[in-house]
Structure 1
Amino acid sequence: MDRRNFIKTSFAAAGTFSLGSIGLNAAPHKTHALSLSFDDGFKKSFYRIAEIHENYGLKACLNVIATGHLKSFNAEPKWIPQELLGDFDDWNKLNERGHEIMPHTWEHLNLTEIPVEKAKENIEKCLSYFEENLSGYNSQGAVYNFAYNASITELEDFALSKVSAVRTGGWLVLNNTMVNGFPVKELPFRLGCWGHGPGFCDDYIEQEINKFLASKGGWLILNLHGLDEEGWGPVSTIYLDTLLRRLSMIDYLTVQPTGEIVKELAKH
């Protein structure tokens, strides 16, 4: 089942379009954009995810919890055991290899379940920690990824006063496919994503990507976590490798991290 009841995004969907025509760094015939957005910061999984992406000339989209490496971290020990999480030495190494590292909250709280002012403080602490500890990071160009894909408008607006985009739960179905539509009319960006768990989500990913590829196009963001036995709704290593090999050969598809696409759209 889905991890949270997702909310409809504020994006309007277009029927047919070219990603190249709106400034995305892709050939004009690219009509589909896909982001595999991995959360939490599982050390073993994230290094392997990065390696698999590198095999096909791709950049991984990796979102980490600011305090996940601290011994005091204990949120969701069933799904995010602290001993499996990496630290900012790891994230800087992967960042240097060209992969995208973005904030996935301060301590992985559902910010809709705590007082709003406390939630805003949580967002500020997260962004400040990234600015202090991740080389080259600037919040103004970042994507803030809400824990549990749970947000409210007030918290989205607060985060969007500091970052370029937020990723939250989203539900827009175009031609029976879950997508963020183009052209995007407003900045900054509210991005909808979709996920599946708690068990392996290989079949779910395959189903949704196949529907997406058969559609007229758009931007599909799938929210994933670890590989094999790590995390909520894990992906098998073999499946991810096979999937990226196949996707890298599709001429009308671009596979990029969310921040890379946001950066290109912001130039338009």
Structure 2
Amino acid sequence: MTQKTVSFCFDDGFLSSTEKTARLFETRGLRASFCIMAAPDQSADTAHIGARFAEWPLWRDLHRRGHDIAPHGWAHERLDTLTHDAACASIERMFARFAAELPGFAAERAIFHTPYLSMPPPLVDWLLARSAAVRIAQGSAGITSQAIAQGSRQIDCITFGPDKVAAQADARIEDFRDADGDWLVLVLHGVDGEGWGSLALPELAGLVDRCCDLGFGIRPLIDILVEPSPSE
């Protein structure tokens, strides 16, 4: 039987939150998925304006330390408001920046983490021909089957906010214990006041430890969807 697994995705790439989250995971022998923009300074999202974001040297270091550093858009555009050609151009520009900045990055082995969890079906199809998989809300509130996701290469997920994030995430973890699915994908953002839907670092630690207490595996998405390359 496949072990029930929880994947924690940390979207947007806030500097302080990233440093704290990486330490929290590493002290437990775990790795996280950090889903980042190629040009966060260009984002028009109100949660991003004036925020401090991690830069490429830190992302390269975290990648060397085993964390998943994954694409989350050029500047967090709402892809369902762009024309198809404009959305494709933005994503290609993002892939090019990742390839230039992150050693070993290849779009065909990357999981694209959709901003705002939504994009038009034709764009999903285009991305599935360009990348390994797409993380996008699919209506199952984050609980799915690893086998189904491996086949479709579309990963359901859930996020919470702006308030009571830890309580909502904890309730979903409890739901997962008795659910038919074997994979829960949680999308979080900043900690200790950074970003939309922030939670306190001890609350995040409590969520991670609760998953461990319940016997769930904690793995980055890429471990489940993408086979390691010969060099890894």
Q: TM-score, normalised by structure 1?
A: 0.80
Instruction: Note if 1:259 corresponds to 2:228.
Output: no
Instruction: Note if 1:115 corresponds to 2:83.
Output: yes
Give the equivalent residue in structure 2 for 1:145: 113
Give the equivalent residue in structure 2 for 1:93: 61
In structure 1, what is the Cα distance between the partners aligned to 2:24 and 2:206? Answer: 10
Instruction: Note if 1:130 corresponds to 2:93.
Output: no
Give the equivalent residue in structure 1 for 2:195: 231
In structure 1, what is the Cα distance between the partners aligned to 2:140 and 2:47? Answer: 28
Give the equivalent residue in structure 2 for 1:50: 22
Kindly report which structure 2 residues correspond to 1:245-256, keeping only aligned pairs within 5 A, or say none.
Answer: 245-251=209-215, 253-256=216-219
In structure 2, what is the Cα distance between the partners aligned to 1:186 and 1:179? Answer: 14
1:40 maps to which of 6, 9, 12: 12
Give the equivalent residue in structure 1 for 2:44: 75
Structure 1 unaligned runs (5+)?
1-17, 20-29
Instruction: Note if 1:171 corresponds to 2:139.
Output: yes
Following superposition, the deviation at residue 136 of structure 1 comes to: 2.0
Q: CA contact under 8 A between 1:47 and 1:94: conserved in structure 2? A: no
Instruction: Note if 1:64 corresponds to 2:27.
Output: no
1:242 maps to which of 174, 193, 206: 206
Give the 3 Å change call, closer, same or farther, for CA 108–179 of structure 1 in structure 2: same
Give the 3 Å change call, closer, same or farther, for CA 75–200 of structure 1 in structure 2: farther
In structure 1, what is the Cα distance between the partners aligned to 2:94 and 2:193? Answer: 27
Q: CA contact under 8 A between 1:143 and 1:163: conserved in structure 2? A: yes
In structure 1, what is the Cα distance between the partners aligned to 2:117 and 2:220? Answer: 17
Q: Which has the higher contact order (CA 8 A, sep 6+)?
A: 1
Following superposition, the deviation at residue 116 of structure 1 comes to: 1.1
Give the count of matched residue pairs: 229
Following superposition, the deviation at residue 142 of structure 1 comes to: 0.7
Deviations 1:125-172 (A, max 9, x none): 111111111122221111001110111111111111111100111212
Identical pairs, percent: 27
Following superposition, the deviation at residue 186 of structure 1 comes to: 6.3
Whichever structure has more helix as a proportion of its residues is: 2
Following superposition, the deviation at residue 222 of structure 1 comes to: 1.2
For the aligned residues, what is the CA RMSD?
Answer: 2.0
Q: TM-score, normalised by structure 2?
A: 0.92
User: Aligned with 1:244: secondary structure?
Assistant: helix
Q: CA contact under 8 A between 1:56 and 1:248: conserved in structure 2? A: no
Q: CA contact under 8 A between 2:144 and 2:181: conserved in structure 1? A: no
In structure 2, what is the Cα distance between the partners aligned to 1:53 and 1:197? Answer: 22
Kindly report which structure 2 residues correspond to 1:197-236, keeping only aligned pairs within 5 A, or say none.
Answer: 197-236=161-200
Q: CA contact under 8 A between 1:56 and 1:244: conserved in structure 2? A: no
Following superposition, the deviation at residue 181 of structure 1 comes to: 2.0
Give the equivalent residue in structure 2 for 1:162: 130
In structure 2, what is the Cα distance between the partners aligned to 1:121 and 1:146? Answer: 15
In structure 2, what is the Cα distance between the partners aligned to 1:187 and 1:142? Answer: 16
In structure 2, what is the Cα distance between the partners aligned to 1:189 and 1:172? Answer: 15
